[in-house]
Amino acid sequence: MDNRSRREEDMPDTQPEIITLVVGQLQTNCYLVICPDTHSALAIDPADEAPRIVRAAQRASARIEKILLTHTHLDHVWGLPALREATGATVLAHRLDVEMLEQYARVFGLRPEQLPNLRPDIQLEGGETISVGHLRGTIIHTPGHSPGSIALAMGNALFAGDTLFAQGVGRTDLPGGSLEQLLASIQRLFTLPEETTVYPGHGPATTIGTEKRDNPYV
């Protein structure tokens, strides 16, 4: 093991810098998760306005090296092709949502030729460790809103996609949705520390503890 590897392992408490951008017609939260040591960045759910996402990273002196899709509904991926082209970042999404892309294309009015630009470079299963500079996070498979919905737990933060909101939960009436699976996924998230800050796909941040106590849907 070289000195650099040892230094990275000695930094378990490094917390991400988080920039929230509300983009697109459906007011989707796109997050930039930045390692304060290396300025490497992960973009989560580039829903739209790719140039604005790039500018935000530049203002923070950050390099977008990876793009994570919490799911592949159009309101979370519409800006993906342009952001991928602008940054050359590696795109990650769950295998089951990749398999649903053609169905989502029909629901959201996409043309078949648009699909290749939305396909990830790496397909996830859940349980993987994702690195961003010195930061480490864990992928949690949270089916229910869609079959391949995922969340990312990193430091004291949870990026929950459309699984859990402040005082709400994700809808389950789109193709592949399941209320039973959604509620089971939320209970899995509720095992995280109560002080964990939840960054949802839409709306304000909350905490695990607040949602365990007050969310009327669970």
C-alpha closest to that of 204 among 29, 66, 10, 81: 29
pLDDT recorded at residue 13: 65
The yes-or-no verdict on residue 5 having pLDDT over 60 is: no
More confident site: 145 or 9: 145
**Crossing angle (nearest 10°) for helices 50-59 and 80-87:** 40
The yes-or-no verdict on residue 181 having pLDDT over 50 is: yes
Residue 111 phi/psi, 5° resolution?
-85, 150
DSSP string computed for 157-217: EEEEETSEETTEE----STT--HHHHHHHHHHHTTS-TTPEEEESBS--EEHHHHHHH-TT
Tens of pLDDT, residue by residue over 104-149, are 777 777 777 777 788 899 999 999 999 999 999 999 999 999 999 9
DSSP string computed for 175-188: TT--HHHHHHHHHH
pLDDT recorded at residue 115: 73
The yes-or-no verdict on residue 11 having pLDDT over 70 is: no
Residue 34 has which token pair?
A: 């930045």
Tens of pLDDT, residue by residue over 20-78, are 999 999 999 999 999 999 999 999 999 999 999 999 999 999 999 999 999 999 899 99
Question: Where along the chain do its domains lie?
Answer: 3-214
pLDDT recorded at residue 107: 75
Tens of pLDDT, residue by residue over 63-77, are 999 999 999 998 999
Tens of pLDDT, residue by residue over 141-180, are 999 999 999 999 999 999 999 999 999 999 999 989 999 9
Q: pTM of this prediction? A: 0.91
At 37, the amino acid letter reads D
3-214, which class in CATH? alpha beta
